[in-house]
Structure 1
Amino acid sequence: MALSGPRPDPGSAADPLDRVHELVTRYSDPHASVARLLCDGHPADAVAYTVVEPDLSATVLTYGRLKTDSERFAAALAGLGVGPGDRVATLMGKSVDYLVALLAIWRLGAVTVPLFTAFAPPAIALRLLASDTKVVICDAPQRAKLAPGADIPADAAWRVVVSGGTGHTGDLRFADLLDAHAPGHPAVALGGDAPLVHIFTSGTTGRPKGVVVPTAAIAGFRLYAEYGCGVSEDDVFWNAADPGWAYGLYFGVIASLSLGVPSVLLHSGFSAGLTWQVMDTLGVTNFTAAPTVYRSLRASGVPVPAGLALRRASSAGEPLTPEINAWAEEAFGIQVHDHYGQTEAGMLVNNHQLPSLRSPVRPGSMGHPMPGWSLRVLYEDRDEIAPTGTVGRIAADLGASPLAWFKGYEGDPVKSAEKFSPDGRWYYTGDVGRVDEEGYFHFSSRDDDVIIMAGYRIGPFEVESVLVTHPAVVECAVVAAPDEVRGEVLEAYVVLQEGAEASDQLTSELQQLVKTRFAAHAYPRTVHFTDQLPKTPSGKIQRFVLRQQRRTDQANPNGPAHPTNLTNPTAPTAPTDPGTHA
């Protein structure tokens, strides 16, 4: 069932910056039409997506069908009063209806508000109310989350459209709306400044903040697919991240549609066996996912099918620890290229897969800045470029970064101001790292995750990268705990492989590993063995939850010293789909 069909040339230029200029000009054009750029301009018989079910049955969606059905659904939404700039939320899994809904929203010049299907009602309500959503399109199993209650108002202003079921009294059915309207609804052309997506940050360390993504941002999304993932015209591309989050939506949907390359959507939760089956059956050549997916594949023990067509693999969302590549090269013969980006910017730094930009992968490095972005490491306490090798704040020089599009958080001028230098030159990523002599960037931590122990600044990722090399460790997180003498000390929370047992001996081995592989002063003074780590719904480890838990334990010395399970009351501890991330 390998995919085939005509594919437009995604394009390349001898000078990468020429390509940057070309795409910035295209997607910033004052007459740009999203529906034409992402759908109508491709050959009608070209494959847009193959949507795969858990039993490996599949629906092949061509651009012709996507155009026709999205025109019909756009007419239906227009009949509900949706027009340019209106917000339409999607609480949907990875399905044909989801893709049709997106194109219909953009055909009208409306704005999609993505909602992750693992969200509980409080998270959904926050986003719907903050975005002033007009219509919610949801899968039938998600409908109950929109029922009036403590979080969802009884007099909610939005209409509800249900896909795949009957819904509640007053709801509209997706299929009925399609049947009731004819194709031919025109695509508006609002230009590059028009909003495309209203997404919310994952809220790792605080309340989620609204980010409005303009049409012009598609230039950077597409360039990441070309440069970072190395997607070419003969690829079958699969971004396994959930489109309820930035990486899945920006690069698994928008970038893919901009390229016109056949892509894959798996309408299912994660399983290692199914992931390998989809790769094998569809002939996937280019795959990208969060580190959680690779860790889960590695830990599953499910054998890799012989003869995979896979030739490029990428990772983003959290730093990729080096042991994954040692496994990947042995398991399926290629390296996984680590990439770094943000909801507010798209992708910034990559171990680029495009041959003309490719450099040797360095363990623990996220690569080089993507053409179109100028990144620097600034001192901790002032906006001056720090010397090579210095750990400091990663920032983008906006005047030299034509791919930058973020202007601030919607309705939050205080938080917006914190992202930029007073003179407007720098965009602060909020991350800490360093750059080496050959221009490779190395992630250290989020600003608020840095550990300062006896005057030493220690990034938890560097310690975590060592700990996960131990054969008994699946994943871990390192945090600071208050200490009367040193101010802070390192403590590690470790999830063990199945069959491995926590012990004083294992604790000593892990401590010694850090001493010998990283730095003697940076070993974890305490190792907590836990069943799972607290995570956002997008799969990012929430170190701040661990820090809060540790402070609680220290304040209550009669409590358990080594918790066996840590949970975050505001978010699931593990994502439904480990491919999701923000």
Structure 2
Amino acid sequence: MQDMMKKYYEEVKNFKLDVPEKFSFPLDVFDRWNDKIALIWTDGNELKKFSFSDLTRLSSKLAGGFKKLGINKGDTVLILLPNKPEWWVIVLAVMRINAVAIPGTTLLTAKDIEYRLKAANIKAVISDSENASKIEEAVNKHGKDVILINIDNQQGWHKYEELLKNEAFLGEKTFSNDPAFIFFTSGTTGLPKMVLHTQVSYPLAHIITGKFWLDLKPGEIHWNISDTGWAKAAWSSFFGPWNMGTTVFTYYRKGKFSPSLIVETLKKYEINTICGPPTAYRMIVKELPLEELKFKTVRHFVAAGEPLNPEIINLWKDATGEYIYNGYGQTETVNTLAMFRFIPMKPGATGFPTPGYEIDITDDEGNPLPPNTEGNIAIKINPQRPVGLFQEYIGDKLEMAAAFRGDWYFTRDRGYKDEDGYFWFVGREDDVIISAGYRIGPFEVESALIKHPAVKEAAVVASPDEVRGEVVKAFVVLTQDYEPSEPLVKDIQEFVKKETAPYKYPRKIEFVDELPKTISGKIKRKELKLKEFGKLK
């Protein structure tokens, strides 16, 4: 263990991101990879490959088209597309003209889009015909002129293919602290916050994500199972891989991925590394025979979005010979905590701080706490602010004041460090359950639940109780061999009491057919909690 940790501390000591005065990700990073394969796209039938040179040519022509339409530096561009090749071309083109890209999931409603149009003063929207009607509805209600660009032949919109006929514009460098991306992210209250990233806080700093946690190599192929509308796509489908000269693999499919499709894809294509949501790994282990999990080319598995349970990590290791490595970060950051291949594995742990970050567990005043004490996961911003930290919540002084206090950025996530210095995730600040004075993190209870043979998936939230204030409630999806029953409830409860501290067991269990999730597979605990407290119908 000492030899492995020595390598970690050497990496931390020696790593430094040199931030130039001016920077352009397309010019300084992307275009330099030339004829290596940048993107492999498939829908299961058709297969397309694009070199870095191909995407340079396409995105520079599109950038010229944008400029002809009057989209210029600093203008905000909302991009609503599924994972089709055009998405990668468009994001590169937006960066070439130093406009501000705003990725959005295609699940957004007309109301969601209208809010974004107003909040971010959006100059242009780029989408496809499938999403055109709700965008038009939002623009009409917005009442201001917006440039509309469609990758299909949508009537009344500017056509993507026509814009590609313009003279190429490769781009120009701009100041490193100029805006580059805005991500809308849900807070604990009210409307989504606007997270602003600079030209370097994502484009350059995701070297940290790609090099250390994803362990990417030039010429290898990386698959990230994520929708293009989420920040995770920027992490692992764009900046992480392309900083390292790694090929991005993407699979376009409407609806949810099935466990069998993920396994088939890993066997069919020569994928070397994969980033998936914990839900995907859990479903694969619970639904498919473990002897099927043999992959000739995959050497590295990582999980993101929320921690993966130790039970699943150990079963995966037994089946494949490889561990799954947890990683942690936010829309506001690049990868900040992770299990790396060069540190001893502790299944279920979030890991150690990534190089470039100083992180600790603190109380609400920013005082570091002793080992095995739950507190705030906090990032040190003084005397050195990490490069991979967002610039601001646009127009939200209250959120800024809550997040930045003294020498720290408070993530609003809870965790603890063990005696060896490993970080462990407890839960989102508003997900932690307080029952009769006890603080209970949902992740630990879910990890115990998933060990029961009847439990395929579980989500744990607070539920109101007259005596205890709140109690632990578990929403459970059963494996195919079990049916809901009162004896099964009792059996699961007794099982959890033996797996963790007895006061943490779920006093309420509700069997459900499926759990509410984001398109990227993250469980929507907030939605379940609001229903429990009667605040969401």
1:447 aligns with 2:429: yes
Deviation string for 1:184-217 (max 9, x for gaps)? x131100311222111114565421101111221
Distance 2:218 2:188 in 1: 37
Distance 1:546 1:525 in 2: 16
Partner of residue 316, structure 1: 304
Partner of residue 471, structure 2: 489
Deviation string for 1:326-372 (max 9, x for gaps)? 3322432211111111001121100013xxxx222213211111111
Distance 1:189 1:387 in 2: 45
1:547 aligns with 2:526: no
1:296 to 274, 283, 290: 283
Deviation at residue 234 of structure 1 after TM alignment = 4.7
Q: What one-letter code is carried by the residue in structure 1 that aligns with 2:163?
A: L
Query: Any residues of structure 2 matched to 1:144-159 within 5 Å, and which?
Result: 144-148=133-137, 153=141, 155-159=143-147
Partner of residue 186, structure 1: 170
Deviation at residue 15 of structure 1 after TM alignment = 3.8
1:34 to 7, 25, 28: 25
Partner of residue 452, structure 2: 470
Root-mean-square deviation (CA, aligned residues, Å) is 2.2
Query: Any residues of structure 2 matched to 1:386-397 within 5 Å, and which?
Result: 386-397=369-380
Distance 1:471 1:520 in 2: 19
Q: What one-letter code is carried by the residue in structure 1 that aligns with 2:261?
A: L
- TM value normalised by structure 1: 0.86
8 A contact 2:217–2:245 mirrored in 1: no
Partner of residue 53, structure 1: 43
1:338 aligns with 2:322: no
Deviation at residue 246 of structure 1 after TM alignment = 0.8
SS of residue paired to 2:22:
coil
Structure 1 unpaired stretches of 5+? 1-11, 554-567, 570-582
Q: Are residues 154 and 196 of structure 1, via their aligned partners in 2, closer, same or farther at CA, if it must alter by over 3 Å?
A: closer
8 A contact 1:50–1:59 mirrored in 2: yes
Distance 2:367 2:412 in 1: 16
8 A contact 1:214–1:405 mirrored in 2: no
Q: Are residues 301 and 156 of structure 1, via their aligned partners in 2, closer, same or farther at CA, if it must alter by over 3 Å?
A: farther
Query: Any residues of structure 2 matched to 1:395-410 within 5 Å, and which?
Result: 395-399=378-382, 400=384, 402-410=386-394
1:282 aligns with 2:269: yes
Partner of residue 4, structure 2: none
Distance 1:90 1:281 in 2: 31
Q: What one-letter code is carried by the residue in structure 1 that aligns with 2:108?
A: F
1:66 to 50, 55, 62: 55
Deviation string for 1:516-539 (max 9, x for gaps)? 110111111111111222334543
Structure 2 unpaired stretches of 5+? 1-6
8 A contact 1:481–1:489 mirrored in 2: yes
Deviation string for 1:226-259 (max 9, x for gaps)? 1011112352111121221011122211222222
Q: What one-letter code is carried by the residue in structure 1 that aligns with 2:230?
A: W
Q: What one-letter code is carried by the residue in structure 2 that aligns with 1:272?
A: P
Q: Percent identity?
A: 32
8 A contact 2:12–2:354 mirrored in 1: no
Query: Any residues of structure 2 matched to 1:90-489 within 5 Å, and which?
Result: 90-148=79-137, 153=141, 155-163=143-151, 165-168=152-155, 170-178=156-164, 180-183=165-168, 185-203=169-187, 206-217=190-201, 218-269=203-254, 270-301=257-288, 304=292, 306-353=294-341, 358-379=342-363, 381-399=364-382, 400=384, 402-421=386-405, 423=406, 425-489=407-471
SS of residue paired to 1:342:
coil
Partner of residue 575, structure 1: none
**Higher mean C-alpha displacement, 494-503 vs 298-307:** 298-307
Q: What one-letter code is carried by the residue in structure 1 that aligns with 2:233?
A: G
Deviation at residue 31 of structure 1 after TM alignment = 2.3
Deviation string for 1:52-84 (max 9, x for gaps)? 1222x2111011111111111001000111111
8 A contact 2:81–2:228 mirrored in 1: no
Q: What one-letter code is carried by the residue in structure 2 that aligns with 1:398?
A: I
Deviation at residue 451 of structure 1 after TM alignment = 1.5
Partner of residue 85, structure 1: 74
SS of residue paired to 1:359:
coil
8 A contact 2:42–2:251 mirrored in 1: yes
SS of residue paired to 1:117:
coil
8 A contact 1:204–1:542 mirrored in 2: no
Deviation at residue 14 of structure 1 after TM alignment = 9.6
Deviation at residue 13 of structure 1 after TM alignment = 11
Number of matched residues?
A: 526
SS of residue paired to 1:283:
coil
Q: Are residues 93 and 552 of structure 1, via their aligned partners in 2, closer, same or farther at CA, if it must alter by over 3 Å?
A: closer
Deviation string for 1:257-306 (max 9, x for gaps)? 22221221112242333323332232101111111221233344277365
Q: Are residues 94 and 536 of structure 1, via their aligned partners in 2, closer, same or farther at CA, if it must alter by over 3 Å?
A: closer
Partner of residue 5, structure 1: none
Q: Are residues 189 and 87 of structure 1, via their aligned partners in 2, closer, same or farther at CA, if it must alter by over 3 Å?
A: same
Partner of residue 572, structure 1: none
- TM value normalised by structure 2: 0.92
8 A contact 2:327–2:339 mirrored in 1: yes
SS of residue paired to 2:21:
coil
SS of residue paired to 2:413:
strand
Q: Are residues 475 and 206 of structure 1, via their aligned partners in 2, closer, same or farther at CA, if it must alter by over 3 Å?
A: farther
Q: Are residues 160 and 213 of structure 1, via their aligned partners in 2, closer, same or farther at CA, if it must alter by over 3 Å?
A: same
Q: What one-letter code is carried by the residue in structure 1 that aligns with 2:107?
A: A
SS of residue paired to 1:449:
coil
Q: What one-letter code is carried by the residue in structure 1 that aligns with 2:348?
A: G
8 A contact 1:216–1:405 mirrored in 2: no
Distance 2:456 2:111 in 1: 31
Distance 2:480 2:187 in 1: 31
8 A contact 2:208–2:335 mirrored in 1: no
Deviation at residue 401 of structure 1 after TM alignment = 5.2
Distance 1:526 1:535 in 2: 21
